[in-house]
């Protein structure tokens, strides 16, 4: 599928995802044991992590938005907005922390930073909840214009919500409860209720994502991983109870690594999908062998390698005999079936992985044989001819009574260009047709084995079909 975000998750992807979940779980458990251990304060740590989160968030937003446009999927457009939400909620933290831990640039410093973090957790969870709601709805496939409108609307809503909550955290500390985090969490009812609510929200959205999506797609699988990491971030951060402790550092790093791992996983899937599409672009849709594009590319590559390493190179051109008459007599569907079977025989007749068979025309094929001289090309060509003749596909009016092929074989000469090399194989094929078809001729004039008559076998095959 063009959109890996909506395609089923593979066993390999699921294994990687569960491995990441296991690693996150072990990291969280280890963090609990050392969460309150103080560490030296690094003033630039928060701006550095915030900058990385912004970059990764924007990358993920672009990737998911692109997948939404490819799949015309409304829920993906909403999901892209969740990353924008995270990006916007990081900005107040940068403003608050400035380049130092305790001194705030604007706002009430410590209180503003705590509330900014709380609002970021809640707003991100809310955006994921909206995505899950959309994911459970059977929404028709939108047009590209509708997807763009939805993306713009999501970005506007996310920016307004993030701006409002960020401004409240910075300038609204007079109306917000005081929650200190520099030397330990204030033990008051308000703080305890807020942090319990935060844990419940994070745990609830993780459970909801697991139940609703079941990790069926790459996107949903890594969504569960990220939500688990964010829950671990909340638990470790609250357990630490103070800034510049093991738990505090670990919470920031765990959050960053989760989003980073998700970005890497998505980029790998994009690369894999692109490679798959590139491979499909070189495959003939009817027969499953290479197409003309693959043949032209591999011919040039094989020619250059043969010249550079002074190695032989064989080429066989193949044409199905009287194929137009076959289509007229039996129909194009039968003709397509015959081409598929013929292509399969060609592939099975090749003895090495470096050998290539491609469909270069309607009923024309080419076989490229690196490190093979004319004698080797003749052997392969005769193996193909006999294999196709042995299929005994009935063809009324054909000399052998069955569908056959004519073949021209050659090998690379010292003064050959790619065009002259292919032209000599084509001339040999033309000579094979002139001599009566159903035979192989090389450019040096050598003939393959005499074709055997298959009228009896063809008649039997035709009789079996009639019955």
- Dihedrals φ, ψ of 63, to 5°? -65, -50
For 424, residues 6+ apart whose C-beta sits below 8 A from its C-beta are 410, 413, 416, 443
Tokens of 53: 């989160």
Task: Reply yes or no on whether 363 is catalytic.
Answer: yes
Q: Return d(Cα 345, Cα 288) in angstroms, integer.
A: 12
- Residues 6 or more apart whose Cβ sits within 8 Å of residue 53: 86, 87, 90, 255, 256, 259
Question: Do 2 and 71 form a contact (C-beta atoms < 8 A)?
Answer: yes
Residue bearing tokens 């304060």: 41
| Partners of 316 in the β-ladder | 367, 409
* Contact (CB, 8 A) for 14 and 215: yes
Q: Are 220 and 17 in contact (CB under 8 A)?
A: no
CA gap 316, 428 in Å, rounded: 9
Q: Which two tokens stand for residue 17?
A: 């995802």
The tokens for 404 are 């056959």
Nearest to 249 by CA among 27, 18, 59: 27
The vertex-71 CA angle with 204 and 86, nearest 5°, equals 40
State the catalytic residue, choosing from 124, 363, 382, 389. 363
Active site residues: 363
């Amino acid at each position: 599928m063009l959109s890996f975000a909506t395609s089923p998750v593979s066993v390999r992807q699921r294994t990687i995802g569960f491995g990441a979940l296991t690693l996150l779980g072990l990291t969280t458990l280890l963090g609990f044991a050392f969460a309150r251990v103080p560490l030296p304060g690094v003033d630039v740590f928060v701006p550095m992590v915030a900058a990385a989160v912004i970059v990764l968030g924007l990358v993920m937003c672009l990737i998911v938005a692109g997948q939404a446009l490819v799949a015309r999927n409304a829920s993906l457009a909403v999901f892209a907005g969740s990353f924008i939400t995270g990006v916007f909620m990081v900005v107040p933290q940068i403003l608050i922390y400035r380049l130092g831990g305790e001194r705030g640039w604007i706002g009430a410093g410590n209180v503003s930073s705590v509330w900014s973090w709380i609002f970021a957790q809640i707003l991100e969870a809310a955006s994921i909840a909206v995505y899950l709601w959309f994911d459970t709805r059977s929404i028709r496939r939108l047009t590209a214009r509708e997807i763009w409108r939805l993306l713009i609307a999501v970005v506007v809503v996310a920016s307004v919500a993030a701006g409002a909550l960020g401004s409240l955290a910075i300038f609204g500390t007079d109306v917000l409860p005081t929650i200190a985090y520099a030397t330990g969490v204030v033990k008051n009812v308000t703080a305890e209720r807020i942090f319990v609510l935060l844990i419940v929200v994070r745990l609830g959205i993780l459970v909801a994502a697991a139940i609703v999506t079941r990790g069926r797609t790459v996107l949903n699988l890594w969504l569960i991983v990220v939500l688990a990491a964010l829950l671990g971030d909340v638990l470790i951060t609250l357990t630490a109870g103070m800034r510049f402790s093991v738990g505090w550092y670990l919470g920031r790093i765990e959050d960053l690594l989760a989003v980073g791992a998700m970005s890497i996983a998505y980029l790998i899937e994009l690369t894999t999908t692109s490679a798959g599409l590139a491979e499909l672009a070189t495959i003939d849709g009817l027969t499953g062998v290479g197409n003309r594009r693959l043949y032209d590319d591999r011919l040039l590559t094989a020619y250059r390698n043969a010249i550079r390493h002074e190695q032989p190179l064989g080429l066989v051109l193949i044409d199905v005999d009287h194929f137009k008459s076959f289509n007229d007599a039996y129909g194009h569907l039968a003709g397509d079936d015959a081409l598929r079977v013929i292509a399969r025989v060609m592939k099975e007749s090749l003895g090495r992985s470096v050998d290539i068979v491609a469909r270069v025309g309607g009923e024309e094929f080419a076989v490229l044989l690196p490190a093979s001289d004319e004698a080797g090309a003749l052997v392969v060509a005769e193996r193909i001819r006999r294999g196709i003749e042995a299929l005994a596909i009935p063809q009324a009016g054909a000399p052998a009574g069955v569908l056959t092929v004519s073949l021209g074989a050659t090998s690379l000469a010292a003064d050959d260009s790619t065009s002259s090399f292919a032209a000599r194989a084509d001339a040999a094929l033309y000579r094979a047709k002139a001599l009566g078809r159903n035979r192989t001729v090389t450019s040096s004039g050598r003939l393959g084995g005499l074709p055997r008559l298959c009228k009896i076998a063809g008649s039997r095959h035709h009789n079996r079909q009639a019955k």
